[in-house]
A and B are shown apart, each in its own frame.
Chain A
Amino acid sequence: MTEPKAVPDLELEFPARPEFVRAARHAVSALARLSGASEEVVEDIKLAVSEACNTAVAANAEAGSEAVELRAFDSPARLVIEVMDRGANPERTVSGPPEELDTGDLPFERALSLPIIRGLVDELAIAPRGDRGAVVRMTVSLEGQGR
């Protein structure tokens, strides 16, 4: 996996409250449409972003309501979306093709969100973020999407 480019095409910071998740998914879906994604892929991205944001909102709210951060990087062949929280660190780093990730050891609140994200994106990586929090990086292929 290559690193995303330095300047995001979309960067959001929003309060760790449920009502802001809608704004986040609509912003990312607007970028996906701009990038030429089909409506089906836009819907997949909306759901994956929402699930990642739900988890981040819950993690941050528990940790004291810091802002959730989101970045999206558009490149000719794919869209990379990162959702960053400041919750307790994931118990371990998971990375790889979605179908090969074993999420059994992750905290319970991710139990439903992660399988959903796995079913929607082409690549999923979850890594600790410094000394506290996690980065959920989702990659969606845009090949064959009119590019």
Chain B
Amino acid sequence: MLDSPSVDLDLETTQREGFSIVSLRGEIDVYTAPLLRQTLVDAIEQGAVNVIVDMERVDFLDSTGLGVLVEGLKRVKTREGHFAIVATQDKILKIFDITGLNKAFPIHSSVDDALSEATAGS
């Protein structure tokens, strides 16, 4: 069911400077979040320790999507890696603010910022 064309979430994973960059487009909700979870789990199981989730083209994010991001953060942290979010849209930032998870994730305004911050801090 997850690879059905009706799923309104596109995911693309690219590699850059030792980071796996997961770029998302569409809506992350209770139906599509499992697809994001599987993508993150696969990337981390295949050895990714530094992950950037690019949410610039995400139209919607709910608590199930947040739960998946928290799980990804935990998995990466046990491998002493970096897990960062790229988001600038108010509607996406708001849910991080309400839940206090803006303190758990480094949130950047672009993939370039996320990369330079993460590599500077390591």
Q: Does B66 contact A (CB under 8 A)?
A: yes
Count of residues in B whose CB is under 8 Å from the partner chain: 18
Query: Are the C-beta atoms of B91 and A50 separated by less than 8 Å?
Result: no
Q: Which of B63, B94, B95 has the most CB of A within 10 A?
A: B63
| Chain A binding surface, main DSSP class | helix
Q: Which of A90-104 contact B (CB under 8 A)?
A: none
Q: Does B42 contact A (CB under 8 A)?
A: no
Count of residues in A whose CB is under 8 Å from the partner chain: 20
CA–CA, A113 to B67, complex, Å? 11
Query: Are the C-beta atoms of A40 and B99 separated by less than 8 Å?
Result: no
0/1 per residue, B64-106, Cβ < 8 Å to A? 1011000000000000000000000011001100110000000
Q: Does B27 contact A (CB under 8 A)?
A: yes
A19, A22, A50, A116: the one contacting B99 at CB < 8 Å is A116
Q: Does A112 contact B (CB under 8 A)?
A: yes
